[in-house]
Amino acid sequence: MPPNTGTKALLDRGQAAHAEYRLTVDREEALAAYESPDWETRCLVGETLAEFTDDESAAILGCLLLDRQDEAVSERTAVALLNRDDPYGVALVLAAYAVCDFEQGNILVWVFNTAMHEGRCDFTKHAKTILSGENQWARFGARNVLEWMGIDPTKL
């Protein structure tokens, strides 16, 4: 039986597995449901796509990090990306931080700070790679976070 890629199927599966923190869906299901009106579905999409590094997933993750309908979507997508603890995930969060509004910025800074303090993401380990990378928004976000941390980017 082929998987049902509709938003309703994702929501039904999510409600059935309510006791679990994270329900796994495949990439195609996530891509099909990223514009869902249901915030829990969009959270699941962000958590799922955080595992992938293709351009299509990155574009959708950027939208979810800047979700204007529900803060939980931005938060849970950022958590999933930072839990990767690699330059790719950190750069996506930093790029979103560079272009977000004040409220979204507060959410992303809180998630970023929590991930660093809990040892789930070592930003300083990835900062040099991000600062020399092609993503101008990630570079801008990285410089802002380094400044916030009191670290001179030229000393990395």
Residues with Cβ within 8 Å of residue 91, at least 6 apart in sequence = 126, 130, 133, 135, 138, 142
The pTM (predicted TM-score) of the whole model is 0.82
- Rounded mean pLDDT, 93-105: 94
Q: Helix (H, G, I), strand (E, B), or coil: what is residue 133?
A: coil
pLDDT at position 5 is: 47
* 1-54 residue pLDDT tens: 344 445 455 545 544 443 344 456 788 888 888 899 999 999 999 999 999 999
d(CA 149, CA 107): 17
Tell me how far apart the alpha carbons of residues 75 and 73 are, in angstroms, rounded to a whole number. Answer: 5
Percent of the chain past pLDDT 70, that is, above it, reads 85
pLDDT for 105-124, tens place per residue? Answer: 999 999 999 999 999 999 98
